[in-house]
Structure 1
Amino acid sequence: MFFEGAEKKAEIQTDLKQISLLNDLPDSFWKTLVSCCKAQVLSTISNPQCKAFLLSESSLFVWDDRLLILTCGETQLVNSIEYFIQQVGTKKIKQLTYQRKNEYFAHAQPSCFGDDMKQLSPYIKGCAYRFGELDGHHNYLFHYENDFTALPDDKTYEFLAYQISETASELLTSSNISAEKIREFLSIDSLLPDYVIDDFVFKPYGYSLNAIKEDRYLTIHVTPQAGSSYISFESNIDLIVVAPLFIDILKPLSFDILSFNEHEFSQKTLPFKEANYVSKSLVEKTLPNGYHVNFANFILPQLQFTQPTQLSVEGENHAL
């Protein structure tokens, strides 16, 4: 069974003097916003600083002055962004960033990054970049071009693991696996002892987790199927520091790290090279909106031959 795990991501920052996203917009607004991209809200957790929605395809986080939404599969996140702009108005938006990662089967998506930019162009103008090589792992990134400047301590991290080990894939695709077992496997409860956690195991495969504490968050999304395995971690806590633990658990053949405003990126990623991973892409840029962005793709060189993957020629198959 194939599922496109790679997420589309949007972060929108708003003017708190004009609107409080937590207090001025009801849950019905967020459910409608999510439905615009053909996803649904499964459950919600909250504290005074943050509300986290677990979705049928990834997650939505809302704070007073910003929102973060990630959606996977064949969702059209750009429709949700358009809905937000139409309902709230551009004058209340301080900054907007939109990302799309390289997908396993991009041809199966209802739109591409360029299509999404054309859809947003009547509302906002901005700059677009590609971080990483076109024929390898990469991230497309668009941001609203205005007079906004990001605060230096506004940091976020993404750790994306591809082609996890056979052992990890077999455990995560085992029948009737529980959320508790997956959290134990990933060491989540020990890493986040004081966080409120909301998670869900999908059938037949897949797992999502939201965790919040005050204004801090972590979200994890697991697509464990062998052949297209992908596990994403997104947070405003330092994932580069804890990445060696996840690498040891998952043993991926490759992984990406993307950070915003982490100025010690090169020094912090040195341990990955010591673990025999090779950096295939290293991209760095300070954007006009003040965000300092680093992107790195690490691969584990293969030392022996493997067998080819046999494909089905019957019926519909994204892989053909």
Structure 2
Amino acid sequence: MLTVDDNIETISLSSIDTRSKLFDTKSDWILLNVGGRHFLTTRSTLLKEESFLSRLCQSNSDLKTDLDDKGGYLIDRDPDYFNVVLNYLRHGKLILENNLVEEGVLEEAEFYNIQTLIELVKERIRERDKRKADDGTTNRVYRVMQCKEKEITHLMSSLTDGWKFEQLIGHSPVGSSYIYPEGEFLCIVSKQYDRNVREENSSCLSPRVKILQERGSRIKKNRYSVQSPIFCRLYLSSKRVRMTGHFFEGAEKLLELWFTSNTTDPNNPTPQNDLRNIPRDLMEEVLDLVNCKVLRYAQSDTTDTYVLSESSMFVFRTHLVLKTCGETTLLHAVQPLLGLARDYCGFDVVDQVYYSRRKFLRPELQKAPHTSFDHEVAYLDSCFEGGSAYVLGRTNVDCWYLYTLDKSCVGTKSTQTLEVIMTDPDPNVMKIFYQENTNSATEATQKAGIDKIFPNAKIFDYLFDPCGYSMNGLLPDGYYFTIHITPEPDFSYVSFETNVPYHQYNEIIDKVVKIFNPGKFTTTIFGGKADLSLDLHRKSFLYLDYDRTDHQIVCLIDHDLIYSYYKKHPS
């Protein structure tokens, strides 16, 4: 039997007695309302350091503070900087997002009286100021290159020897009488040079730099000088192409958590041992930490499914799958989920963890700890023991990251998962997923042919305004599939995932690729060792009009992982 709740606003969190259920003095969970933003954490986290926060959460606290209507302690401080403070208490590392500065963290650390963080931030400030002082001996030199649209990608990938991309200009600078031909751009790059070291002649330059200089000379020298401060003002005021304006990171971060218990037999679980016992309002509190909202919710006998404002979540008895896109902070959900699984489901053992994503197009826009895979690994290592990190594919073109635990699993798991990640999909197909072209999510599903991938699926879909699409599909016996689409031309992206049996994968990939007709796509297949025939995979997983340029295999303890990268034949 399937029950659906399309209107999530009918659930009023204020009507739930969260104070008695979650935030009483006997619970390890604490809700904080800092500057209007809610943070869900544990009492044990706040008690790690002697501070204002540790005093606040003690049962006999001498601090007086009001509670909001959800039972959260009201604190009138900056929520962005508090997020840094809370993450420090969680894992002992200071990780700053791009728009935050050390002085702001220091002010908050002093307010909360966290002495170890105060000393750490002061040391970070001293190191930063020393680097700035050292940088006083350098000059930044700018160069300009004129290039055609089809040359931009190659140009970006060829920047080495300290050269850094600064800006791409698609129109003539303000006040210029020179009109650049259609499809040509100005590319601004820069490099820091030591004032005390002068290049005596061009023979000292690397071949890459010589190419940059040669291409830069194509600009008419009687109009602009690359060292001219007037030119710098001109290019900063000119119109930028879309890659520096509106942008959405379609690539999802994917987290899969498996649980078991030391006190019960995995093959004979108790009714408590079920992640679907976690109250939905608490799940939504966790999703708030990730910066996404529930748009559609449904239940089947085996699965709870959530269509989110940024992708999807599936909750099963012993495991859950959470994937989020954009600038979401997926890993902020890890520790709250571990606590909820313990408190509401009796799961005291993490059986396995999988965290994966493809390479971001704009990693500098991500929030900590997602600013780099190294930071993500450090964060996960602070939560789990025995983690292993992998990179598959070509790191200078596109690649796929994986973090998992180097251990054998106790519980019984589904033996396969397929993910297909597509870039440069057919622009005509992408037009379907704009509200100006399509009246509803159901219409988009049917026009694209998504409903024909699994004709027997129960589909829960959503069409975003002005564009974008997400859907979850539930199948019999606990199988699912999900699709997420970012249709904007400059960063179009489609992802597909399912856990149906492995023998269907070749046919499914063929169906999905024919629907979206991408320029490039990758497939990742997790499978139990008995399911995957590597020789069969090499021979069978080939598709008309596409070359398979990468094919890698990782033999994990309980699973084999196969990664493949496909690129369309030149037309």
* Common fold by TM > 0.5: yes
Per the alignment, residue 103 of structure 1 pairs with: 360
| 2:496 corresponds to 1:233 | yes
Residue 202 of structure 1 corresponds to 464
Q: How many residues align?
A: 302
Question: Paired residue for 2:426, among 161, 165, 187?
Answer: 165
1:237-257 per-position Cα deviation (integer Å, ceiling 9, x unaligned): 244322222222221110011
Cα pair 2:352 2:405 within 8 Å, conserved: yes
Question: How big is the shift at 1:193?
Answer: 2.8
| Per-residue deviation, 1:272 | 6.1
Q: How does 1:38-187 map to 2 (within 5 A)?
A: 38-88=291-341, 91-110=348-367, 111=370, 112-125=372-385, 126-148=387-409, 154-173=415-434, 175-177=436-438, 178-187=440-449
Q: State the structure with bigger RCO (CA 8 A, min sep 6), 1 or 2.
A: 1
Deviations 1:127-178 (A, max 9, x none): 1101111112211111123342686861010011110122222333361512
Structure 2: how far apart are the matches of 1:171 and 1:54?
Answer: 19
Query: Do the aligned partners of 2:433 and 2:463 also contact (CA within 8 Å) in 1?
Result: no
Instruction: Return the letter of the residue paired with 1:120.
Output: L
Shift of 1:230: 0.6
**Aligned-pair RMSD on alpha carbons?**
2.2
Confirm or deny: 8 A CA contact 2:481 2:498 kept in the other structure. Answer: yes
Q: Which letter does structure 2 place at the counterpart of 1:281?
A: D
Aligned to 2:566: 298
More helix, by proportion? 2
Aligned pair 1:279/2:548, yes or no?
A: yes
Query: How far apart are 1:270 and its partner, in Å?
Result: 4.8
Structure 1 gaps, min length 5:
304-320
Residue 188 of structure 1 is matched in structure 2 by 450
CA distance in 2, matches of 1:23, 1:298: 38
- TM-score normalised to structure 2 length: 0.50
Moved more, 179-188 or 214-223: 179-188
SS across alignment from 1:141: strand
Shift of 1:233: 0.5
| Alpha-carbon distance in structure 2 between the residues aligned to 1:149 and 1:296 | 29
Which one of 9, 29, 35 corresponds to residue 254 of structure 2?
9
Against the structure 1 CA distance between its residues 245 and 150, is the aligned structure 2 distance closer, same or farther, given a 3 Å change threshold? same
1:213-252 correspondence to structure 2 within 5 Å: 213-214=475-476, 215-237=478-500, 238-252=504-518
Unmatched tracts of structure 2, length 5 or more: 1-245, 261-265
Residue pair 1:281, 1:298 contacting (<8 A) in 2 also: yes
- Of stretches 137-146 and 229-238 in structure 1, the one that deviates more from structure 2 is 137-146
Equivalent residue, structure 2, for 1:311:
none
Q: CA deviation at 1:191?
A: 3.0
Contact 2:359 2:398 in 1 (8 A): yes
Change (3 A) 1:250 1:23: closer
* Counterpart code for 1:30: M
Counterpart residue number, 1:313: none
Alpha-carbon separation, structure 2, partners of 1:106 and 1:88: 31
Is the CA contact (8 Å cut-off) linking 2:525 and 2:562 kept in structure 1? yes
Distance, in Å, in 2 between the alignment partners of 1:291 and 1:53 is 27
Output the amino acid matched with 1:163.
Answer: D
Higher gyration radius (CA): 2
Do 1:157 and 1:260's aligned partners in 2 also have CA atoms closer than 8 Å? yes
- 1:265 offset after TM fit, Å? 5.8
